[in-house]
Copies of this chain bind each other. A is one copy, B any other.
Amino acid sequence: MKLTSKGRYAVMALVDLARFDSINPVSLRDISLRQGISLDYLEQIFSKLKKNEIVKSIRGTQGGYVLNKNPNDIKLTNIFHAVDEKVKTVQCKRESKRGCNGKATKCITHNLWDELETHINTFFENKSLDDLLKNKKETRV
């Protein structure tokens, strides 16, 4: 069970963006430099964030990205959904009438994994970008 870089970077970038957003749009170049994330990779990520209306883009010189919503209304769930970072604990297709073993009944651990998935998603639903901004200081090691 691990978090992928895409999801981690998406959140990092958005926190960075939210911090500097106030006056001017923020360029991916700046985020790339500040957070140490590849610019090309960031572009892929922001393309998805834009499609999902989490950010707006402003082209041309002095352009960049701006949040498209109040930080309070951007939950981790929304971010992860946008970049296809999905939580998948069950093996079976959720809609399917069959279990992961191919039988007509769900397997003996299905309920457990389902519970786990809910447990994790709850965390993501309850965290907003705003919550992350409150914890502004980079923690000293």
Contacts and interface: CB of A to CB of B under 8 A. Distances in A.
A36 B85 CA distance: 29
A77 to B, nearest CB: 12
Contacts of A15: 108-109
A104 B2 contact: no
A12 B87 contact: no
Interface residues of A, number: 47
Contact of A1 (B4, B36, B106, B140): B4
B12 A108 contact: yes
Nearest to A108: B15
A50 interface: no
A119 B112 contact: no
A104 B85 CA distance: 28
Nearest to A104: B141
Contacts of A105: 138-141
Interface of A: 1-5, 7-8, 11-12, 15-16, 35-36, 85-89, 91, 97-113, 116, 119-120, 123, 127, 132, 135, 138-141
- Of all A-B residue pairs in the complex, the 7 with the closest CB atoms, nearest first, are A36-B101, A2-B88, A105-B138, A3-B89, A106-B139, A1-B87, A12-B109
